[in-house]
Amino acid sequence: MVIVAPSILSADFSRLGEEIKAVEKAGAKWIHIDVMDGHFVPNITIGPVIVASIRKTSKLLFDCHLMIENPEGYISQFAKAGADLITIHAECDNDLKTTIQKIKDSGCLAGISVNPETSLDVIYEVIPDVDLILIMSVHPGFSGQSFIKDVLPKIKQAEELIQKTKKKIYLQVDGGINKENAGIVKENGADVLVAASFIFKSSNYAEAIRQLKDL
Ligand code: DX5
Ligand code: ZN
């Protein structure tokens, strides 16, 4: 069964708690939180203070996607703020094995993400250590971009690598997901779909989530 993780990046930030409650009521099980620092990506978004604040509004799994330089320096802050899963980027400036171990030591699940142009070779060594692989299907930084279909073979390749580990590793896809492409993304092996604009810009969150799940 596919998991839909609404990304609050397209939510109404003046009503963030209510928005999270609304997607929970609409059937979401995970909340995807896009953390950007203005260095790793051009945009600046959410820090641990906001995560701690919204933690009070929901018991759903908080999936923190760190698009920041030096993620290792911020793991404990996000864990303390209430993250359940912390995903770092393969392109970050830290040692991946060390940082993933730090996430696990903090009590969170650990994820590794690759940008559209990054080969899975870069994360090969750490795949047995992680709980989630995130394949970016847009260049990270902003919601509302178009899905890059060239990443489909990489999703399939990641699925095959996951099979070989014989352990449960989620395969998440993030960027430009909508009802037109959710089917093919799932066919290629994804089991967690992130969507910001498709859900939060729709007039009916439950219908949008259902459309992503049912295709
Ligand atoms: C992009 C973020 C995504 C983004 C998705 O850098 O990591 O999670 O919010 O937005 P949509 O679904 O609108 O492409
Ligand atoms: Zn994201």
User: pLDDT tens, 112-136?
Assistant: 999 999 999 999 999 999 999 999 9
State pLDDT tens for residues 43-54: 999 999 999 999
State pLDDT tens for residues 150-175: 999 999 999 999 999 999 999 999 99
Q: Say how many Å lie between the CA of residue 125 and the centre of ligand 2.
A: 23
Domains of the chain: 3-214 (3.20.20.70)
Whether pTM exceeds 0.95: yes
- β-sheet bridge partners, residue 140: none
Q: Is the dihedral of CA 1, 169, 149, 88 positive or negative?
A: positive
Query: Which pLDDT score, from 0 to 100, does residue 214 have?
Result: 84
Distance CA 16, CA 50 (A): 10
Query: Which pLDDT score, from 0 to 100, does residue 204 have?
Result: 98
**What positions carry a catalytic annotation?**
34, 174
74 Cβ neighbours under 8 A, 6+ residues apart = 48, 66, 68
Query: Which pLDDT score, from 0 to 100, does residue 1 have?
Result: 87
Q: What is the mean pLDDT of residues 54-78?
A: 98
**CA–centroid distance for 215 within its chain:** 20
Query: Which pLDDT score, from 0 to 100, does residue 215 have?
Result: 63
Q: Would you say the CB of residue 42 lies under 6 angstroms from ligand 1?
A: no
- β-sheet bridge partners, residue 171: 133
Query: Which of 43, 68, 138, 172 should be mutated for ligand 1, with most atoms under 8 A from CB?
Result: 138
Tell me the longest C-alpha to C-alpha distance in the chain.
44
Structure tokens at 46: 């959410």
Q: Are 142 and 179 in contact (CB under 8 A)?
A: no
Q: Are 23 and 199 in contact (CB under 8 A)?
A: yes
State pLDDT tens for residues 16-56: 999 999 999 999 999 999 999 999 999 999 999 999 999 99
Q: Would you say the CB of residue 63 lies under 6 angstroms from ligand 1?
A: no
Nearest residue to 110 via CA among 141, 79, 139: 79
The whole-chain average pLDDT of the chain stands at 98
Q: What is the mean pLDDT of residues 83-102?
A: 98
104 Cβ neighbours under 8 A, 6+ residues apart = 110, 129
Q: Are 185 and 152 in contact (CB under 8 A)?
A: yes
Query: Which one of the ligands is nearest to 198 CA?
Result: 1
Distance CA 132, CA 179 (A): 23
